[in-house]
Structure 1
Amino acid sequence: MDLITDLPLVNNMDSILVMVDHTATKGVIFIPCNKKIDATGTAELLFEHVYKRFGLLDKIISDQDPQFAAEVFREMGRILGIKQMLSTTYHSQMDGETERVNQEVEIYLWFFCAKEQTKWKDLLHFAEFTHNSRTQSITCQTPFYLTMGYHPRPLPTVFNKSSIPSIKQRTLELKKLQEEMSALLDISAQRIKERSHRTFNKFEKGQKVWLEGKNLSLGYPSPKLSPKCEGPFEIEEVLGPVTYKLKLPFQWRIHPVFHTGLLTLYKENEIHRLNFLEPPLDIVEGQEEFEVEVIIRHRPKGKRKKLMEYLVSWKAYNSSHNQWLKPSGLKHSMELYLDYKIKHNLR
């Protein structure tokens, strides 16, 4: 049992409780939850999603804090006869199977939800069904077959015609989703296999790192000419062996958790020390003000899309400070503003 945390918040849920059967079946259950879930809430999820389908557990292997687990599981174990076993920080490999499943799910979510990150909760049951339908290399059987003695029917490859357009459209969407899911989980398994032969950098909380910029959508006119790396950013939290939460600018509004493969340690040279201190503000009409260097792009705003906002880059500041402004925020950069409107044929 383990948690995948810090996903985009959906219906007050931002985490996945991952349950893996450590017996021969190797089946999985993915349960959406909140990372602040306590032991009582975790126990309720076990009853709701595990007990009603498979009965009592023989034992529980968890990397959660011993105090957290003991709070409810010790009493639950005494009453129900569950033998509790907690893996320690020094023996985290005890739950290696769950960690591998975690990596598989994280890669799947990365591929499938990159553009619409809030859809992760709706797609979990597809990932669970597909995983449990795949033949495991060790047993040469699927988890479904070993658990139930048969293979549940997936979506058919050909559907009967329906006179209801919405049903026809939905079945086609589900079929496509199932095919993509199977392919993505195969890719996930391959990526995990490749990663097992690679050595990744490890970072600590408080360190500064560069973030690879090729997959970031920050409003640059040309991706080819955009910076290869953004930052440096401080590591706010170490979430796992290969995942880190970064302290990003609030205006980015993207999920702040990244794989270590996208991060590079920021190093200062003692002789030629890089200076990322913010420059002093200009004094305009007795008030401190940033100086706009360039207007990058624009977007319509408002209910009728009649209002316009402009993404600006501040002089002597890196791209992490880029900001969307209303026209009123450009009153001291009128020349840039008017030139931009003429160039893009804006009224």
Structure 2
Amino acid sequence: MRAISLQSLATAVAPHPLSQGDAKDTARRLFAGKPALFDRLQGVFDNAGVDRRQTVAPLNWYAGDHGWTSRNRLYLEAAEALFLDAARRAIDQAGLCPADIDGVVSVSTTGIATPSLEARAGPKLGLRPDIQRVPLFGLGCAGGVSGLATAARLAAAEPGSRWLFVTVETCSISIRLDSDDPASLVATALFGDGAAAAVVGDEGPGLATISASAERQWPDTLGIMGWRVEDPGFAVVFDRAIPPFVTAELAGAVAEMERTFGVTRGEIGRFCCHPGGAKVVEAIETALVLNPGSLDLERSVLREHGNMSAPTVLFVLRALIDRGLPAKTLMTAFGPGFTCAGMLLERPA
């Protein structure tokens, strides 16, 4: 792939702040019909690495009885608002106006939108009627990396074009209190909502240079992570095997990517990783033989925002850019499939 400039990177959070203490107290009350489940798993609230997060609905919404219709209605309203917020910030940061954008890649997996989000938000944002649209669904947490990589490849294929990338996830809408699945309680302790957006093109040094991207998928791993489609709404799939799988498999996947990118481990100044949960962050450090605590920005984003799925790794990247990019950074994120998405970023000259 021809190198492409990351010209801006913006984040947006949902309007309702939620402390982990309030989330735990509310879950204790709302899981009252399943006290054994809550008593057995309540420690996840204390060990998730989350202090606070932001959600698209107020806390009392979760006590209601919501099916597909009401959940998806909330998704459409909230996701469009987050899309507009993040996209406006990214376009403004790039010193552009919406009419300067030639194409848009949107990533979202936590609701159904047909027409897709960029079609709904585009006219309000001021995108041109001839904008090229590429909506992507089903990428989960890996979508922050693979979606940005898709936008970069499209920009590289059309010299002089500018592409907007937006990812929006409203994970908290999927929180379910009608399930005996332990993953439902884990989601209650972990999920937050947010969005991120970026402008990519081949003009100017920008914030970073996107040099290459790659993905690795493992066969027979569809049940490790994802969503089940059920009558009340999405049901999260979180297998307990995720942290040990990361510990066992990440190093080999990263080594393959490094060979593909033509770089050595010693040239990588820092990894920028999706913090799926406290145990996942620990597993990444173990797999990559990093000093404990090395992924400090990942832990900080998780602590302040929870797991927002695809946007989360871009919150980490924004923090890394603000602190100062090393010469070479390797981004990684895991998603359903089971997939590891990777991207090589270089500090602009």
TM-score band, normalised by the shorter chain?
Answer: under 0.3
The structure whose Rg is larger is 1
